[in-house]
Amino acid sequence: MNWELLTAPDFQSAVTTSKGVCLLPMGVLEKHGDHLPIGQDMLYTHAVACLAAEKEPAVVFPPYPFGQIFEARHQPGTIALRSGLLLEVLESVCGEISRNGLPRIIIVNGHGGNSKMLAYFCQLMLERERDYQVYLSDVFAGSPQTSGLLTAKVDGHAGEAETSCMLSLRPDLVHPGEERPYGAPRGRLDTLKKVGLYSGLLWYSDHPGHFCSDGTPGTAAKGKVLVDAHVRQIVRQIKAVKKDRRTRVLSAQFQRRARKPVCLTH
């Protein structure tokens, strides 16, 4: 049930059928080597979300392109909104999704650079009482039943996994042979990493060309395995959210306690 394709009467029916669950597929607009589309992440998360919603009913929000991507501002095609605006727009969108009768929102993230920001966003949901719950699903985190499938030794961005996924779903958007040999990490800030320090420049220091791969090619067959695994994972998550009653209860309890003066005595 694609939000943007439904008529108004169909939308009302979809709210009931989905039991108030909406999938918000989130990616970003950034370079993916020279052979994959700039919208790779949002296109992929939207596609697997739609496939999952066919198996377990949920309303699927249109592909969401506004993610954290300051580290790619030097590359063509990047859209990097101001940080405050980024969070404000996402919060407003979630509020509007809930206002339309879908208070159970699963953000389906397909971009590694969004992970920490979205975890923080979920924590910000505790700032005040809301009439909806936000859950975070990271598509590429812990994909089940795919161990041993991929052979690349370096494969972090636009490499074997992402290329395979897109070859399976949208081969018309893949341009094989356009990969460039700049995928190996350059290690320019390894002295910081070795002592456990983090810098916002770590990604740029290793991969200024936005291609993290040893050049191992992807295949549509491998992509099909990954797609199926990701769809199964999202289906399980939709079912879990539909059954979840405790989060709402705990949220209300937390907000009640947070409004009271804190007592330091036992």
pLDDT tens digits along 51-94: 999 999 999 999 999 999 999 999 999 999 999 999 999 999 99
pLDDT for 260: 81
Residue in 240, 44, 66 with CA at minimum distance from that of residue 140: 44
pLDDT tens digits along 186-209: 999 999 999 999 999 999 999 998
Q: Which residue has the tokens 């990047």?
A: 78
pLDDT for 141: 78
pTM of the model: 0.93
* Regions of the chain short of the pLDDT cut 70: 142-147, 178-182, 262-266
Instruction: Domain ranges for the chain, please list them.
Output: 3-259
pLDDT for 163: 94
The CA-based dihedral angle spanning residues 26, 72, 212, 181, taken in that order and rounded to the nearest 10 degrees: 140
Using CA atoms, how far apart are residues 14 and 20, in angstroms rounded to an integer?
8
Q: Please say whether the beta carbons of 144 and 233 come within 8 A.
A: yes
pLDDT for 16: 97
211: Cβ contacts below 8 Å, ≥ 6 apart = 31, 32, 33, 34, 157, 158, 159, 179, 180, 182, 183
Residue in 157, 136, 156, 120 with CA at minimum distance from that of residue 34: 157
pLDDT for 40: 96
Beta bridge partners of 106: 23, 135
Reply yes or no on domain 3-259 having CATH 3.40.190.10.
Answer: no
pLDDT for 149: 87
